[in-house]
Amino acid sequence: MTTVRAFLIELGKTLKLLARNRVAFFGLIVLVTLIFLSYIGPLIWPAETKSNLAAIYQGPSWQHPLGTDFQGQDNLRQVIHGGRVILEIAFITGILTTLIAVTLGSLSAFLGGAFDSVMTELINVWLTIPQFPLLAILATMLKVSDVWLLAIILALLDWPGLARQVRAQVLSLKQRDYVEAAITLDLGTPHIIFREIMPNMMSYIAISLIFAMTGAIYQQTGLVFLGLVPLSGANWGVMLSLAYNRGAIYTVDALGNVLAPVGAIALLQLSLVWLARGLEEVFNPRLRTSV
């Protein structure tokens, strides 16, 4: 119970600091709005099942604020329906990437020796392999259509960069007096990693998680755009891919059809970057202007 309470108090403090940081707060509001729209929106505005041939590629109007697509369906409604999968994949990938990177990176720094050498070499080689091409191969050949499978593949590709940074952080934290004290007291590796070192890295990990999410958004929409993963369901990447392949991109009246998914993606990415930037300032007392 006490841990839960302590966590809630910490969360409250962080949110308070976040509210003072305009950039972070703005990012948070945009992000929460997008999440809200993607999860609650579809319940209020159900998906259109029929195409309306009389309303193909319309410009913005009261009835269709963002215009219509090649089937005469409302762009805004599609944007509302298309965010959920992207958010889910981004979030799962972010968590998995961070988990793998933190575990391997800190173990590598902490254990040292042969394990560290092998990990460092593996990370170096992994980082040299062209990521997007490899991702394209994996996604196509495994015929990815499942949210979890795609997230796992993305995480397996994305962890090395973060692991290297975590390793460097742990190496420097390891030198601190309180960690040396814990080592001398023989408190055990799990205790030292999770109770002494991790709490000092939480802010860093939170920010890395957000950046891992932006990376995942880029990669998954890229895959969908190139048609390398099955085009099914509502998804901003699918929307843009269709807009591109059906020639909406060359039609003046179809502007909304292209700009709606582009804007949605850009807004989601920006909100995450703003939030990460703000968090950096919140967590780093030296960057903080007032407390």
Partner 1 sequence: MQRYLTQRLIAFIPTLFGISIVIFIVMRLLPGDAIDAMVGTSFKLTEAQIAALREYFGFDKPLPEQYWIWLTSALRGDFGFSVRSGAPVLPEILARFPLTLELAILAMLIATAIGIPIGVLAAVKRDSYIDIAGRLFALIGLALPNFWMGTLIILVLSVAFGILPNSGDYTDFVKDPIANLKQLLFPALTLGFAFSASIMRTTRSSMLEELRQDYARTARGKGLKEQAVIVGHCLKNALIPIITIIGLETGYLFGGAIIVEEVFALPGIGRFLLNGIAQRDYAIVQGTIIFIAFNFVAINLIADLAYAFANPRIRYD
Q: Which is nearer to partner 1, 40 or 127 (CB)?
A: 127
Is residue 165 part of the contact set for partner 1 (CB under 8 A)? no
Instruction: Give the footprint of partner 1 on residues 94-123 (CB under 8 A).
Output: 121-122
CB of 176 to partner 1, least distance (A): 25
Is residue 203 part of the contact set for partner 1 (CB under 8 A)? no
Q: Which is nearer to partner 1, 159 or 274 (CB)?
A: 274
Q: Are 97 and 156 in contact (CB under 8 A)?
A: no
Is residue 128 part of the contact set for partner 1 (CB under 8 A)? yes
Q: Measured in whole angstroms, how far is the alpha carbon of residue 264 from the centre of its chain? A: 14
Q: How far is CA 93 from CA 156, 191, 197, 203, 210, in A?
A: 9, 27, 24, 18, 10
Among 46, 249, 284, 287, interactor with partner 1 by CB under 8 A: 249
Q: How far is CA 122 from CA 154, 163, 212, 218, in A?
A: 17, 11, 20, 24
* DSSP string of 79-135, one letter each residue: HHHHHHHHHHHHHHHHHHHHHHHHHHHHHHHHH-HHHHHHHHHHHHHHHHS-HHHHH
Among 8, 9, 111, 125, interactor with partner 1 by CB under 8 A: 125
CB of 247 to partner 1, least distance (A): 10
Is residue 152 part of the contact set for partner 1 (CB under 8 A)? no
Is residue 262 part of the contact set for partner 1 (CB under 8 A)? yes
Q: Are 167 and 109 in contact (CB under 8 A)?
A: yes
Q: Which of 210, 207, 212 is nearest to 154 (CA)?
A: 212
Among 113, 133, 190, 199, interactor with partner 1 by CB under 8 A: 133
CA atoms within 13 A on the CB side of 257: 27
Question: DSSP state, 194?
Answer: I
Residues in a beta bridge with 74 = 68
Q: Which is nearer to partner 1, 57 or 110 (CB)?
A: 57
Is residue 54 part of the contact set for partner 1 (CB under 8 A)? no
Is residue 132 part of the contact set for partner 1 (CB under 8 A)? yes
Q: Which is nearer to partner 1, 29 or 266 (CB)?
A: 266
Number of residues that bind partner 1 (CB under 8 A): 41
Is residue 30 part of the contact set for partner 1 (CB under 8 A)? no
Is residue 70 part of the contact set for partner 1 (CB under 8 A)? no
Is residue 270 part of the contact set for partner 1 (CB under 8 A)? yes
Is residue 244 part of the contact set for partner 1 (CB under 8 A)? yes
Distance, in Å, from the CA atom of 235 to the CA atom of 70, rounded to the nearest integer, reads 16
Is residue 179 part of the contact set for partner 1 (CB under 8 A)? no
Q: Which stretch binds partner 1 (CB under 8 A): 50-58, 92-100, 135-143, 178-186?
A: 135-143
